[in-house]
């Protein structure tokens, strides 16, 4: 396990463009307002070159060094990471499976001296994210594997249409592939009140009328409502891996992911997951995962 580091964001992010240390100042307030506007209009915020130019090389080297730790798996999955339902028609989204092949570096492999760990645990960064997503406060995962993660996609890897476990997600690209690896999403296609299966089916069938695409570059920060927005990463092309850091937070402290999800994504469970298998895991919503 890593040691908890408390550090300044000075030198780690572009504080001149993104004054996270002075959110109550005029520039800070305008930044939050702009981010909220982006969320309202398209369900996603992209902050270009959030990491300053001089730190980009270090950032890329961090994930390159850790990428061999990624657990790769290849499986057929539906958007809900669930089993098929034989009581539903074959065209139903729960019965629509696609290849998912990618790797994840678990959080317990990411040391406290990395830029990504220091940003993830920084209180100013967390307050900024909370204000953008309209929450009083957010919390790091208690899950030792899934809180801070590096997604590694090599040639041919993809992440087909799916939802995230948490209501919102914060990501940062650190390495771009030669081709492919495009992030596409459909904002707000489902809600806690309903899955909207008919519209999801249309997207899977190839209707692109609601799909948005992002051209992300290393150092770009993305804030995204992935719990309610269907999204995917298209197959990577070329021999250069695509690396993306996932900063996962939750509005309630103590969040632990489902044990079966940890086993599927990381190839292993932490002791807390094994404990949850015995006790049962309670969730605050009934959405499919």
3-state SS, 54-94, equals HHHHHHHHHHHHHHHHCEEEEEEECCCCCCCCCCCCCCCHH
Angstrom CA distances, 125 to 13, 156, 265, 266, stand at 10, 34, 26, 26
What does the pLDDT average to over 265-276? 91
User: Which tens digit of pLDDT belongs to each residue from 109-153?
Assistant: 999 999 999 999 999 999 999 999 999 999 999 999 999 999 999
Lowest mean pLDDT among 79-83, 184-188, 245-249, 282-286: 282-286
Radius of gyration of the chain from its Cα atoms, rounded to whole angstroms: 18
Q: In the structure encoding, which two tokens stand for residue 273, read together?
A: 């997951």
Q: Which of 103, 19, 35 is nearest to 63 (CA)?
A: 103
Q: How confident is the model at residue 43 (pLDDT cuts 50, 70, 90)?
A: confident
Angstrom CA distances, 43 to 206, 254, 282, stand at 21, 26, 27
Backbone CA torsion sign across 157, 158, 164, 168: positive
**CA distance linking residue 44 with residue 42, whole number of Å:** 5
Q: How confident is the model at residue 3 (pLDDT cuts 50, 70, 90)?
A: very low
Q: What domains does the chain contain, in order, with CATH numbers?
A: 20-279 (2.60.120.620)
Residue 6, pLDDT > 60, answer no
Contacts of 252 (CB under 8 A, 6+ apart): 139, 284
**CA distance linking residue 187 with residue 257, whole number of Å:** 23
Angstrom CA distances, 22 to 17, 31, 269, stand at 11, 11, 39
- Write out the E strands in the chain: 44-47, 71-77, 98-105, 139-140, 148-153, 159-162, 169-175, 179-180, 183-186, 212-214, 221-224, 230-233, 236-237, 242-247, 249-250
Share of residues in the chain with pLDDT > 70 (%): 94
* Contact assessment for residue 264 and residue 100, using Cβ atoms and an 8 Å cutoff: no
**CA distance linking residue 244 with residue 154, whole number of Å:** 12
User: Which tens digit of pLDDT belongs to each residue from 50-104?
Assistant: 999 999 999 999 999 999 999 998 999 999 989 999 999 999 999 999 999 999 9
Q: How far is CA 165 from the centre of its chain?
A: 9
**CA distance linking residue 144 with residue 142, whole number of Å:** 6
In a 10 Å sphere around its CB, with 0-12 CB exposed, 13-18 middle and 19+ buried, how is residue 251 labelled? middle
User: Which tens digit of pLDDT belongs to each residue from 211-241?
Assistant: 999 989 999 999 998 888 999 999 999 999 9
pLDDT of res. 251:
86
Q: Name residue, tokens 């891996």.
A: 241
**CA distance linking residue 130 with residue 142, whole number of Å:** 17
């Amino acid at each position: 396990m890593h040691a908890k580091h408390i550090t300044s964001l000075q030198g780690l992010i572009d504080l001149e463009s993104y004054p996270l240390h002075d959110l109550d100042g005029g520039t800070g307030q305008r930044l939050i307002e702009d981010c909220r506007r982006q969320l309202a209009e398209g369900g996603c915020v992209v902050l270009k070159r959030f990491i300053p130019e001089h730190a980009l090389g270090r950032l890329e080297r961090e994930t390159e060094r850790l990428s061999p730790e990624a657990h790769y798996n290849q499986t057929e999955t539906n958007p809900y990471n669930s089993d098929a339902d034989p009581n539903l028609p074959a065209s139903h989204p729960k019965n629509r499976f696609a290849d998912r092949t990618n790797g994840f570096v678990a959080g317990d492999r990411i040391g406290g001296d990395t830029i990504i760990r220091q940003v993830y645990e920084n209180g100013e960064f967390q307050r900024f994210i909370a204000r953008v997503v309209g929450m009083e406060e957010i919390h790091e995962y208690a899950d030792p594997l899934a809180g801070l993660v590096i997604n590694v996609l090599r040639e041919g890897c993809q992440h087909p249409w799916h939802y995230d476990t948490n209501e919102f997600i914060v990501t940062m690209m650190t390495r771009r592939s030669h081709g492919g690896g495009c992030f596409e999403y459909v904002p707000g296609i489902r809600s806690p009140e309903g899955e909207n299966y008919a519209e999801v089916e249309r997207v899977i069938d190839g209707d692109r009328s609601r799909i948005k695409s992002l051209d992300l570059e290393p150092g770009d920060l993305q804030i995204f409502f992935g719990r309610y927005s269907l999204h995917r990463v298209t197959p990577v092309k070329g021999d250069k891996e695509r690396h993306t850091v996932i900063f996962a937070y939750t509005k309630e402290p103590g969040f632990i992911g489902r044990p079966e999800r940890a086993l599927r994504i990381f190839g292993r469970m932490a002791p807390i997951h094994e404990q949850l298998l015995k006790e049962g895991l309670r969730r605050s919503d009934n959405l499919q995962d």
